[in-house]
Chains A and B, each alone.
Chain A
Amino acid sequence: MKTVTLNTGDLKSQEYFLNMGPQHPATHGVLRLILTMDGEIVKNIEPDLGYIHRSIEKQCEYEGYKQIIHLTDRMDYLSSHINNEAVALAIEQALEIEVPERVKVIRTIMGELTRIASHLLWWGVMGMDVGALTTFMYAFRDREMINDIMEETCGARLTMSYSTPGGVMFDLHPNFQKRVKEFIPHLRSVIPKYDELLTGNVIFQKRMKGVGVLSYEDAISHGASGPVARGSGVSCDRRIKDPYSAFKARDIKFNEILFTEGDNLARYNVRMKEMLESLNIIEQLIDNIPDDGIQAKTKALIKLPKGEFLQRVETARGDMGVYIVSDGKKNPYRVKFRSPGFSNLNALIEIGKGHLIADLVAIMSTLDFVVPDIDR
């Protein structure tokens, strides 16, 4: 028998390009990443955006201020209420309108419900991304309850367009308080089951711990915000740093969840604990909704004074900014939406390098991208 000896020194490896997306289920939409691979190791990541770019910022320059709110639903559709609120707050800030306290409380409750719904969807899909299909079914069952509450009051389940400049579109449905109060204990009872199902799982823990570490300094330098930055120990919650709506009007007690590891598990834990904090916030408000109207007086045609107005809010994904430049006309001169996902994507370029491609999927999942939010 002839023996073949293989001299491994002669074998040449070659880097190659791999297209991840735009039609890839783990990219949560239509994000395309051009990967430079060495075997299964990711060497470089170059995002190619624009597959769902609708030039919302340009459209805003040709719409009135009331219309703009409806466009923002379509950016981060999982935090649609908070996006609406941001634009409404920016307009109110410019016109110096003080909205009724009822509006502030309603907006905050709706915002926190939106945050829970967004985190629930993220949790379900996160499980799927790492190979646990069951989580999706549980998360969607519970998220459905929030969608039903939204449907009753806002008339829409996802793109609510509920906030208007100076108030909200409709008053609360008579069932609202009852259903929210049913939902709070329900979610409290299921979150320990979620932990049993996924968080404590050994395989899951190994996929999460120490993977995709984003350091404190890098998180700030990359402009990361929201649960991504808080997983790296950066205290950046706009609800505390720069309170708005009921966070300003009321004395709401809640904790900012901070983890310092900066890895996948830290980001995962931040979101899981944030859901409970959101429940605490809702609980402090739901029994105590004042009755002073749902709309401050505004003109039918809104014109903003000359100047520049920036409003920052905390969406489910992080620090979202609405920057309006007005020249005194009925439509804005320039609108910029600073979306949290856009800057968080910048962090992926760095922390994804050097990992296996399967880990890249897990990292993308804990960064929680919504692609229409990145593309706008």
Chain B
Amino acid sequence: MMTNNDIITSLQKSFPNLEFNEEESKYLTVNTSPEDYLAVMQNLREAGFDYLFSMTGMDWGKELGVTNHLENTQTGTMVVVKVKLEDRQNPELPTLENIWKTAHLHEREIFDLFGINFKGHTVMKRLLLSEDWEGYPMRKDWKDETKMIIR
């Protein structure tokens, strides 16, 4: 059984700049920079986190980003990886499609609703909304002019 400390020590060896947080939720949270993101995820995949439970697009007000929930199906350990992007105009992240196949649809959904562009994704198009939709409705600064949701 892998403990949180094992994950922290193994990650710190390759990435000394990572921030860890154990209070935020019941799982270990890893905060990574966009530059380290792909390498950190690859590292966790090799450490046995084979199940990408979900990818959640986030708008923290100032930054956009993604929260990933990973699970090791053998031990049941979970870890949360967060990545924040300062640039709200052209947010870009590398795709995880080549590590977990499930990222294919999850990343398309995040692109659609938050406008984060995943570099290297095979089909980076809108998924839920129509092609001619303007703006990204899950962002906090989205204006609901037709009063579709906000009454």
Contact = CB atoms under 8 A, between A and B. Distances in A.
B134 to A, nearest CB: 15
Given A242-B76, A310-B27, A221 B50 contact: yes
Contacts, number: 89
B53 A55 contact: no
A58 B53 CA distance: 21
Interface in A222-245: 222-223, 234-236, 241-242
User: For the side of the interface on A, what is the size category?
Assistant: 35 or more
Interface string B47-79: 000111110101100000001010001001000
A46 B67 CA distance: 25
Interface residues of B, number: 35
Given A62-B150, A342-B105, A346-B101, A223 B129 contact: no
Contacts of B137: 55, 58
Contacts of B58: 325, 334
Contact of A53 (B50, B52, B101, B129): B129
A336 interface: yes
Interface in B25-39: 25-27
Which of A55, A59, A309 has the most CB atoms of chain B within a 10 A radius of its CB? Answer: A55
Nearest to A235: B73
A49 B80 CA distance: 27
Which of A46, A236, A336, A350 has the most CB atoms of chain B within a 10 A radius of its CB? Answer: A336
B138 interface: yes
A252 interface: no
Nearest to B127: A49
Contacts of B149: 55, 58-59, 62
Interface of B: 24-27, 50-54, 56, 58-59, 67, 69, 73, 76, 80, 100-102, 104-106, 109, 123, 127-130, 137-138, 148-151
